[in-house]
């Protein structure tokens, strides 16, 4: 049995992600078997205490006695003597020294893990060595592409802000749409994997596997990609995007029939205003390459009038209204 990682993200900075993580953590401690070992960490931040994406103060997290946590060494000055170090991730592999430690009392600390996939994979390998049946709670961010890879996250815990503000509500709907996309076929995945390099940002190919275009530019800035989609529009083809399906690219590709667009992961779709305009129709088929299941949906409602179509078979928790005594993980 390998450890399981839940990534916590939110549709907005006020969606209640921190509240959801803290609640989930308490539930795991109270209702799971004692031998289940718990780990807490977060993606990287910018500076001493500022979130790199939202530019807000990074909050501390309550770590309970017996849990493991991973953070940058500089955040440990205020909690000296309250933890036992198990591993230090240092140079040359890590530019910032990260410490994996077990709490020997209850305290609050800023969590800061690495901000890239490969570094986080190395830390996860060490977690798995310590506890193969462990559970890791990853305080994430909605714009970090690596969180959408199944090698990083086994499940997504999404905090959804239901508000009267149209832009924020659109972001929430986009995320739910992205999480509901079907994965591409096995044959398509094989073609993408075989053709991809570290520089790949887009691949256009026929169903037969013949590559029509292979781009290394950001897709919505790649004029050659757009031209290739037009030149070969008469054939059934697949477009793989390892980059945002931006509003401009969405509009450009909208009339192209017999086109299947495969997004690298859900972060390539959500949060970028891909709504069709009045009278228009998006004709390509959308698929996703790396799919991470939506495991739990946490609701924060600011407006009673705000409505979204919630996914089926996913536990929905209103942290501010529901009877949480009945909640089970």
Concatenating the DSSP letter of every residue in 263-288 gives ESSGGGTTTS--PPPTT----SEEEE
Compute how many other C-beta atoms are within 10 angstroms of the C-beta atom of residue 83: 23
Tell me, what's the pLDDT at 145?
Answer: 75
Q: Length of the chain in residues, anyone?
A: 329
Among 145-149, 201-205, 208-212, 271-275, name the one with the lowest average pLDDT.
Answer: 271-275
Tens-digit pLDDT profile for residues 275-328? 545 446 889 999 999 988 899 999 888 777 777 878 888 988 887 776 655 566
Tell me, what's the pLDDT at 207?
Answer: 82
> Is 205 a residue whose pLDDT tops 90?
yes
> Is 259 a residue whose pLDDT tops 60?
yes
Among 112-116, 150-154, 273-277, name the one with the lowest average pLDDT.
Answer: 273-277
Tell me, what's the pLDDT at 325?
Answer: 57
Return the higher-pLDDT residue of 161 and 329.
161
Helix (H) or strand (E) holding 190: helix 186-195
Six-digit token pair at 258? 């017999």
Spatial separation of the C-alpha atoms in residues 249 and 231, rounded to whole Å: 16
> Is 162 a residue whose pLDDT tops 90?
no
Six-digit token pair at 253? 């590709």
Distances from the Cα of 111 to the Cα of 63, 147, 179, 251, angstroms: 10, 17, 27, 40
Give percent of the chain above pLDDT 90.
49
Tens-digit pLDDT profile for residues 21-54? 998 998 888 876 666 799 999 987 643 344 444 4
Identify the structural domains of the chain with CATH numbers, from first to last: 4-179+292-326 (3.40.50), 186-288 (3.40.140)
Among 56-60, 84-88, 281-285, name the one with the lowest average pLDDT.
Answer: 56-60
Tell me, what's the pLDDT at 319?
Answer: 76
Tens-digit pLDDT profile for residues 167-200? 778 878 888 888 889 999 999 999 999 999 999 9
**8 Å CB contact between 111 and 71:** yes
Tell me, what's the pLDDT at 327?
Answer: 60
Determine how β-strand 237-241 pairs with β-strand 259-263.
parallel
Spatial separation of the C-alpha atoms in residues 124 and 126, rounded to whole Å: 5
Spatial separation of the C-alpha atoms in residues 179 and 191, rounded to whole Å: 23
> Is 98 a residue whose pLDDT tops 90?
yes
101: three-class secondary structure by DSSP: strand
Spatial separation of the C-alpha atoms in residues 20 and 116, rounded to whole Å: 23
- Please tell me the pTM assigned to this model: 0.84
Q: What is the mean pLDDT of the chain?
A: 86
309 phi and psi angles, rounded to 5 deg: -85, 115
Spatial separation of the C-alpha atoms in residues 107 and 43, rounded to whole Å: 20
């Amino acid at each position: 049995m390998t450890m399981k990682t839940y990534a916590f993200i939110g549709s907005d900075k006020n969606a209640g992600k921190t509240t959801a993580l803290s609640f989930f953590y308490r539930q795991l401690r109270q209702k799971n078997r004692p031998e289940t070992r718990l780990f807490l960490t977060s993606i990287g931040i910018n500076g001493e205490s500022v979130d790199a994406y939202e530019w807000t103060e990074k909050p501390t997290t309550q770590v309970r006695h017996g849990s493991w946590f991973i953070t940058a060494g500089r955040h440990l000055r205020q909690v000296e003597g309250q933890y036992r170090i198990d591993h230090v991730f240092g140079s040359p592999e890590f530019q910032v020294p990260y410490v994996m430690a077990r709490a020997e009392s209850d305290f609050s600390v800023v969590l800061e893990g690495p901000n890239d996939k490969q570094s986080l994979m190395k830390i996860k390998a060490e977690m798995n060595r310590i506890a193969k049946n462990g559970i890791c709670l990853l305080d994430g961010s909605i714009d970090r592409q690596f969180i959408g890879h199944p090698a990083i996250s086994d499940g997504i815990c999404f905090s959804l802000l239901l508000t009267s503000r149209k832009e924020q509500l659109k972001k929430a709907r986009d995320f739910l749409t992205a999480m509901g996309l079907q994965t591409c076929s096995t044959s398509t995945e094989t073609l993408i994997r075989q053709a991809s390099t570290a520089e790949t940002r887009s691949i256009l190919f026929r169903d037969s596997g013949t590559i029509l275009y292979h781009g290394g530019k950001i897709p919505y800035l790649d004029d050659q990609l757009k031209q290739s989609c037009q030149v070969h529009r008469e054939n059934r083809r697949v477009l793989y995007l390892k980059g945002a399906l931006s509003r401009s690219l969405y509009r450009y590709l909208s009339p192209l029939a017999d086109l299947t667009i495969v997004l690298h992961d859900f972060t390539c779709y959500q949060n970028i205003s891909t709504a069709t305009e009045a009278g228009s129709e998006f004709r390509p088929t959308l698929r996703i390459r790396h799919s991470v299941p939506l495991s739990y949906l946490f609701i924060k409602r600011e407006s009673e009038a705000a409505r979204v179509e919630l996914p089926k078979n996913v536990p929905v928790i209103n942290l501010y209204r529901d009877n949480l005594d009945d909640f089970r993980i």
